[in-house]
Structure 1
Amino acid sequence: MEIGSPLLVGSKKIMLLGSGELGKEMAIEAQRMGVEVIAVDRYDMAPPAMHVAHRRYVINMLDKNAIKALVHREGPPDAIIAEIEAINTDALVELEEEGFKVVPNARAVKICMNRIELRRLAAEKLQLPTTRYFFAESVEDVKRACKDLGFPCLLKPEMSSSGHGHVLISKYDDVERGFKEALAHARGGSSSKVVVEEYVKIDRELTVLTYRYLLGNNVVTNTVLPIEHQRPEGVYYYVESWHPATVSEEIMKRARDYAIRLVNELGGLGIYGVEILITRDGRVLFSEAAPRPPHDTGLVTLVSTDINEFQIHVRSALGLPTPEVKLVTPAAAHVILADTETWAPRITGLEEALRIPGGVQVRLFGKPFTYRHRRMGIVLATGSTVQEAREKARLAASLIKVR
């Protein structure tokens, strides 16, 4: 493979569809390899990847023709990377049929965004263990499902990611409100269906970073040592992650097996974040998957491994190998969340946080406006043990405020 200089003839070029903090890290890794980066999102200035890309475009990410026209204008990118799921997936399918390279592939993005199709693939085709579930497209359907599953039960919109639209239902009187709320927060446009899931008591949660790369003419699938994480009760975004996970070898083995089976079925090249639940009664269950580097859980690899998740994804997108990823130190990550809605926020407390000795770092995403619980940055910490790293990350995060 040859990589020319960015902005000149012969350059390698990637296009990020979605330009958040994950895209920013991918853009940085791509630029370190001399790759030209185009960032695309639905609004200007705010997306962090636009701050570091060579070029940026603002389009309606649900407009199929807008996506296709932009890809053709850049003619063609060496890889189109789906950084978010809330995009027109039909555009990706058609571009792939025309010969463009979608990462990991158009089918994977489409399936992972659609909770119904993902559950059918994982539970019904691959026979991976999951929570009990029903599909529903009316209030009456949800009531019947909850009667069978028992209360509480969990509603997830058909088109969803990162916990958007997840609603916990505790009684029949909540069903209509919960159904409407789930549909109102669906990703990627209108949706009329939900997944109704058994509510389980969670003991542990894992992310298995599973990646596929080219080695000669063959595609190889590998995993990174699982990451463990937790979130407050009833909240669907992750607050704290640590690496390596503190579960048994047997649970790690099962989690990696589920992840490899799913990712090999989805195919393509690049990294997937496969989420695994360990219930209080000892079940190990597949939960969901992201066709890209996962959010807060995977950011810990910026300090925990010798090759982070973003570099893995960029390498695979370009057709380059990553034969092995090694854990170099126990590490933890803790998100920095906004409490209120405001423009031009100020981040305070950095001096106090960075006085903590021994491997504390802060990554601020540079978003120009906030809303309640918006991720504005992350604290990363290393230590001689996972517990030491977690304590440092928690303390540092507690000192940092979004004003």
Structure 2
Amino acid sequence: MNNMLKAGSTIGILGGGQLARMLAGAALKMGYHTHVYDPNPKSPAFEISSLKTIGSFEDHGLLKKFAKTCDVLTYEFENIPHKALEEIEQIVQIFPRKTSLYISQDRIKEKQFFKSLNLETVEYATICSFEDFSKSIKQIKIPSILKTCREGYDGKGQLLITNKTKKKDVEEHLLQGPCILESFLKFEKELSVIIARNDNGDVVSFDPGENVHKSGILYSTTVPSQISKTLQIDSIIIAGKIVNSLKYVGVLGVELFLTHDDRVVVNEMAPRVHNSGHWTQNGCAIDQFEQHIRAISGHALGDGERYSDVTMINILGDTTKNFRNITNAAVHFYGKDEARPGRKMGHVNYVSPKTS
């Protein structure tokens, strides 16, 4: 996109969850309408969007009709059928480009992509059968993690391999489809970089965040991360290599491990705004959601500067009542009507003066 999207234009969003909800809010602030497409009639983003379409991602006729109402299109989650994007792309431009999504949808392709950039990853092997597993476990060793190649997130689709794991456990896991066996990395910290690139090739990164996961789900992100400036720069350089290689347009989340000997290991990427970037809503003048809208609509990117220290904590399941009366932090609820164990219902940003 070489020209700035005109005010009053419509930005289409595939997926109607909390990320789409916050993207729609950012677009509205910048003078744009949004049209959200999601199968769920109770999608949180529908409360914010200008237009909504309820439909399956397999309904190509409805997707085409939706696409014709949009001036540019983006998405809020990875598991969109590739065929659907091919149909839509004939009608309207999609950012981030579908190549990024195609890579991130498959953990093997993602690891191969990282390796092509000479980025360090954990040791891994492709597993399609128990025979593959039996051969590869000798090299990968125990403990290790067997993950489905596709559609796993927030700890889903993962099997921890230990000395107690039985053959039937592995075979049952493989029924979900091809898998990747990853070596178990003893890391010092979990980090993430939220980075943006526009179609002109301008790149801006937010400060790396330090993450804590519980039961495979992000619990908190803290900035500044307690790592050296050199390691912060190294992390941003890695994310920069990824977005430039992809000729990426939009915001990308890159998850990293920091080892005990200060090696930065790439875990995965998310071609969208990211949970670990929610701290930017109360720590930066331009947050990740506005940054994404800026990138896909042809605006100049915000500078990414952080003016506060922030700890973001996810509000999970039925814990929302614990956060209703908070008066010393910024609480963001997603408008979901059903609280299930582990479901992200909102987040809270605890803000303090900037220290470094």
TM-score, normalised by the number of residues in structure 2:
0.92
Q: Among 3, 6, 28, which residue is 2:6 paired with?
A: 3
Runs of 4+ that moved beyond 4 A: none
In 2: Cα distance, 1:149 partner to 1:167 partner? 14
1:265-290 per-position Cα deviation (integer Å, ceiling 9, x unaligned) = 22231010011111234321011000
1:132-190 per-position Cα deviation (integer Å, ceiling 9, x unaligned) = 01011012212222221111111111113433212211137435424533654xxxxxx
Say if 1:179 and 1:112 are closer, same or farther in 2 by CA, change over 3 A. farther
In 1: Cα distance, 2:165 partner to 2:207 partner? 44
Q: Among 132, 141, 153, which residue is 1:162 paired with?
A: 153
How far 1:72 moved relative to its partner?
3.5
Say if 1:175 and 1:288 are closer, same or farther in 2 by CA, change over 3 A. farther
**Corresponding residue SS for 2:353:** coil
In 1: Cα distance, 2:223 partner to 2:171 partner? 36
Which residue matches 1:324? 303
Say if 1:353 and 1:133 are closer, same or farther in 2 by CA, change over 3 A. same
Residue pair 1:134, 1:145 contacting (<8 A) in 2 also: yes
* Amino acid in structure 1 at the alignment position of 2:246: L
Q: Which stretches in structure 1 are left out of the alignment for 5+ residues?
A: 5-10, 185-191, 340-345, 388-403
- 1:104-143 mapped onto 2 (5 Å cutoff): 104-123=96-115, 125-143=116-134
Residue pair 1:228, 1:245 contacting (<8 A) in 2 also: yes
Q: Among 368, 382, 389, which residue is 2:351 paired with?
A: 382
How far 1:107 moved relative to its partner?
0.8
Residue pair 2:64, 2:91 contacting (<8 A) in 1 also: no
Which residue matches 1:283? 263
Residue pair 2:67, 2:92 contacting (<8 A) in 1 also: no
In 2: Cα distance, 1:160 partner to 1:67 partner? 21
In 2: Cα distance, 1:347 partner to 1:111 partner? 35
> Which of 1 and 2 has higher RCO (CA within 8 Å, sep 6+)?
2
Which residue matches 1:335? 314
Which residue matches 2:321? 348
- Alignment of 1:253 onto 2:233: yes
- Alignment of 1:220 onto 2:207: no
TM-score, normalised by the number of residues in structure 1:
0.82
**Corresponding residue SS for 1:141:** helix
Q: Which stretches in structure 2 are left out of the alignment for 5+ residues?
A: none
Residue pair 2:67, 2:88 contacting (<8 A) in 1 also: no
How far 1:70 moved relative to its partner?
2.5
- 1:4-403 mapped onto 2 (5 Å cutoff): 4=7, 11-45=8-42, 47-61=43-57, 63=58, 66-67=59-60, 69-96=62-89, 98=90, 100-123=92-115, 125-163=116-154, 164-171=156-163, 173-178=165-170, 180-181=172-173, 184=176, 192-214=177-199, 218-232=200-214, 235-295=215-275, 297-338=276-317, 347-350=320-323, 352-354=325-327, 357=328, 360-384=329-353
Say if 1:226 and 1:347 are closer, same or farther in 2 by CA, change over 3 A. closer
In 1: Cα distance, 2:180 partner to 2:192 partner? 22
Which residue matches 1:188? none
Say if 1:69 and 1:223 are closer, same or farther in 2 by CA, change over 3 A. same
* Amino acid in structure 2 at the alignment position of 1:365: Y
Say if 1:38 and 1:249 are closer, same or farther in 2 by CA, change over 3 A. same
Q: CA RMSD in A?
A: 2.1
Which residue matches 1:394? none
Residue pair 2:96, 2:250 contacting (<8 A) in 1 also: yes
Structure 1 vs Structure 2: percent identity of aligned residues? 24
Which residue matches 1:391? none
**Corresponding residue SS for 1:231:** strand
